[in-house]
Amino acid sequence: MKCLIPNRKRSLLIVSLLLALSLLLTTGVGAAGGGIAGGAGATPYGGGPVPGGPGFVVLRGIDFKPYPSSYTTFTYDGVAIYNSGATWTYFVATLPIPNGVTINQMVAYYYDNDAGVNLGLDLFPLPLFANTGSTMASLSSSGANSSIIYGATSAISTPLVNLATTSYALQAYMPPSVNVKLVGVRIDYGYSVSLPVIKR
């Protein structure tokens, strides 16, 4: 039986396909770093998907819990969370992300219609041999907007995920305001692909 594609051409075709797949998996569209509202990347919700990826982990406001747990004055508004108490407080959520990927950007979706206070969001690596960690990425809101908006940063320190020694968490620092709500957070990541040597 005659082969439709000679061996040498077939090998070149396989290598070309693997290279194309590698480029597809490791290329993501970056976003401007810095603050959220009023800065680069801030736009009313509904303008289409925010560029990024190729992999995604998405958490909603309802995934966040108060820290410390004794703080009980918070409210879920649909899938968003806001601080209904009288003092600033933290809300945290663990990040279920695959091992070995590289974090490309952090995207926050939020409502901030209070010009006097801002929402802060941090991404932390938490070494398994410690109970605290240093900040990998940060965002904060500013100004006031009557729509749900988003902001993104691609300024990620130590972006390679290593679950053998580290877990990861998001922390929101929220003012006591019904007009500041965390709607969701998206963490974009990519894969490092090593192509095997193809031998004839």
> What are the distances in angstroms from CA 21 to CA 16, 27, 28, 196?
9, 10, 13, 13
Q: Calculate the CA 139 to chain-centre distance.
A: 11
Predicted confidence band of residue 196 (pLDDT cuts 50, 70, 90):
low
| CATH entry 3.40.50.300 includes domain 30-190 | no
Is 3's pLDDT higher than 60?
Answer: no
Cβ atoms < 10 Å from Cβ of 12: 13
Dist CA 120 CA 104 (whole Å)? 19
Q: Give tens-digit pLDDT for 21-76.
A: 343 333 333 333 333 332 334 445 455 688 899 999 999 999 999 998 888 889 99
**What percent of the chain lies above the pLDDT cut of 90?**
57
Nearest to 153 by CA among 28, 41, 74: 41
Contacts of residue 122, defined as CB under 8 A and 6 or more positions apart, other chains included, come to 135, 136, 137, 138, 170, 171, 173
Average pLDDT of the chain, as a whole number = 79
Residue 10 clears pLDDT 90, i.e. is over it: no
Place of tokens 């998001």: 170
pLDDT in tens, 153-174: 999 999 999 999 999 999 999 9
> How many whole angstroms separate alpha carbon 93 and alpha carbon 59?
8
- Confidence grade of residue 16 (pLDDT, cut at 50, 70, 90): very low
Query: Six-digit token pair at 72?
Result: 């009980």
Average of per-residue pLDDT across 139-162? 90
Q: Encoding tokens for residue 75?
A: 């409210």
Task: Report which of residues 153 and 5 the model is more confident about.
Answer: 153
Nearest residue to 123 via CA among 150, 103, 141, 109:
103
Prediction pTM value: 0.73
Q: Distance between CA 26 and CA 104 in Å, rounded?
A: 10
